[in-house]
Structure formats: structure tokens, C-alpha cells
Amino acid sequence: MSTRARRYDAHVLRRDVLSPHLLRLTLGDGLVDFESTGIPDEWVGLIVPGQFQSRYYTVRSWDGRELVLDVVVHEVGLVTEWASRDCVGDQVTVTEPRGSFAMPGDAEWVLLVGDLTAMPAMARIAETTLAGADPVATRIWAEVPDNLTGYLPEGPDVTWLEPPGPGQSGLAAVVESIDWPSGEGYFWMAGESAQMRAIRKHLMRDRRLPSTAYDVMGYWRGASRRQPRAVDPGPIWRAGKAAGKSDEQIWAEYDEARDG
């Protein structure tokens, strides 16, 4: 049996510019079987036309018909370049969602720290922690290059920070200077991978937090370039499409070429 995550073909219904570095893509038309995990930082893999490689994007919202992804525009990048153009009407593939946020039921507070790529998850997490009769006190540190007033829901205590430079992050130092609340709580953070490694060490060694009290995820890699694939999927995909093959057939051939 295949262990590959389930995939859904969808179309870009709308593309809205939220800020100079953030685009909102609304996908639909093909997602009838899509099911949310309900975990507020859930993400999908997104495969854009002509590509095999996926990039991960947080499900900003899913209403049973339309899936909203908020996409950061970098200097270069596979999804960046595609999304920077008019992509409305394009067919994309998304993988089934997965989530990681696991706040204990007795948490009295939650701390959320992240850069622009983490904003969709922080917004959705805050929507859930602040909902209901018994909201959980929510603090957010957001390191973003744009003015995103109004992007986060009303309620959390938000500290806006400017990135130290393009493609840089100072979040490790920010976390070390946090005045930690007392009582039971949960810490969630996402951003550049090298910063996240430093923060995990800090939480384990200095704060001595059990692993159930935090979730720290590397969302992107700054310094090192991606390793080129041993077999470039692009030509295989194009040749397969030109020959009228299905995505499943093309994937099988790609796996064979890579493993062979």
C-alpha cells in the first residue's frame, strides 16, 4: 500500500495582496473530500504547476469549500516566483493536512513567537485559544517586515518586531529575554531553522521545559541552499504530461528513476 499522503487537485480561485510580502491564495474547485485535522497550525504541501517538489503552507482557513493559504514572497523561490505572477485559474495540488500544536488542556497561557511565515499559524492558533467561554491568555511576538495591523484576531497581547535585515531573524535573542509567566502554559514557535535549533536548546537546558510544554518548528532554511535533487523532476513531469500520463503514473516513474 502506498504511504504517500493523499493529494487533492484544486484551482486558484482568488489571489489577494495582503502586504508587500504576503499574498492570500484562495483555492477551491476540487477539494470536496478535503478534511481539516482541526489542529490550528495544520499545514498542507503545495505543488504548483510544472513542479514535483512541494512547499509547506499553513491552512489559514477551510470552510468546507475554499482553502485559504497566505504565502510569503521571498527574493527567490519556487512557489514565490509562481505566486508573484497572476496565478488565478492555475491548477495546483495540495496534500492532506497535518498539524503539530498540542497545548495541554490545563494550560493557563500560551506564548507564540514567529516570523512572517508563522503569521498564518499564529493567527489561527490565537483564534482558537481566545475562543469560547474560557479563553487562554495569549501573547505573540511577531517579527515581520510589513505593517500587518489587523491580520491577527483581537485579543492577544502582541509585540511587533522588525527583522534585523533581509532574510535574517533575531528571534533567538527575543525568546531568551522573555519574562516567563508562572503556572502551566505552552510555547509555540516557528521560523528560520537555525534560530529554532538555538531556541530548542535554550528551552531544554535553561528553562528545563518538558517536551510536552513546547513546539518549535523550523519553517525555512536561511543560509544553505537546497540540495539539488539527484533526479530533476521537472523534465520527467513535462515529458509525462506531454505523453498524456496521470500524475500517479508520473510519480511512479519519478520514484523509479530516483531509486534506480
Ligand X SMILES: Cc1cc2nc3c(=O)[nH]c(=O)nc-3n(C[C@H](O)[C@H](O)[C@H](O)COP(=O)(O)OP(=O)(O)OC[C@H]3O[C@@H](n4cnc5c(N)ncnc54)[C@H](O)[C@@H]3O)c2cc1C
Question: Rule CB under 6 A: which of 156-175 touch ligand X?
Answer: 167
Please provide residue 190's backbone torsions phi and psi, each rounded to the nearest 5 degrees. -150, 150
Query: Which of 13, 18, 78, 194 is close enough to bind ligand X by CB under 6 A?
Result: 78
Question: Please, what is the minimum distance in Å from the beta carbon of residue 168 to ligand X?
Answer: 9
**Which of 8-16, 29-37, 171-179, 213-221 is the region at the interface with ligand X (rule: CB under 6 A)?**
213-221
CA Rg value for the chain: 19
**Which of 146-154, 171-179, 220-228, 233-241 is the region at the interface with ligand X (rule: CB under 6 A)?**
220-228
**Which of 25-33, 56-64, 145-153, 202-210 is the region at the interface with ligand X (rule: CB under 6 A)?**
56-64
- Going by their DSSP bridges, the two strands 61-62 and 137-143 should be labelled as unpaired
Q: Of 42 and 236, which CB lies nearer to ligand X in the complex structure?
A: 42
**DSSP-derived secondary structure letter, 17:** E
The span from the CA of 24 to the CA of 36, in Å, is: 19
Position 139 contacts ligand X (CB under 6 A): no
Q: Of 67 and 110, which CB lies nearer to ligand X in the complex structure?
A: 67
SS3 113: strand
On the CB side of 205, CA atoms within 13 Å amount to 7
Query: Which of 77, 145, 153, 170 is close enough to bind ligand X by CB under 6 A?
Result: 77
Position 117 contacts ligand X (CB under 6 A): yes
Please provide residue 173's backbone torsions phi and psi, each rounded to the nearest 5 degrees. -65, -35
Position 72 contacts ligand X (CB under 6 A): yes
Q: Of 80 and 95, which CB lies nearer to ligand X in the complex structure?
A: 80
115: CB partners within 8 A, 6+ apart: 142, 143, 144, 163, 169, 171, 190, 191, 192, 219
Binding mask 10-49 for ligand X (x = CB under 6 A): ---------------------------------x------
* Cell numbers standing for residue 197: 535549533
Question: Please, what is the minimum distance in Å from the beta carbon of residue 79 to ligand X?
Answer: 4
> Comparing C-alpha atoms, which of 199, 133, 195, 135 is closest to residue 164?
195
Question: Please, what is the minimum distance in Å from the beta carbon of residue 173 to ligand X?
Answer: 18
Q: Of 136 and 144, which CB lies nearer to ligand X in the complex structure?
A: 144
154: CB partners within 8 A, 6+ apart: none
**List of residues contacting ligand X (CB under 6 A):** 43, 55-58, 70-72, 74, 76-80, 117, 120, 167, 217, 219-222, 225
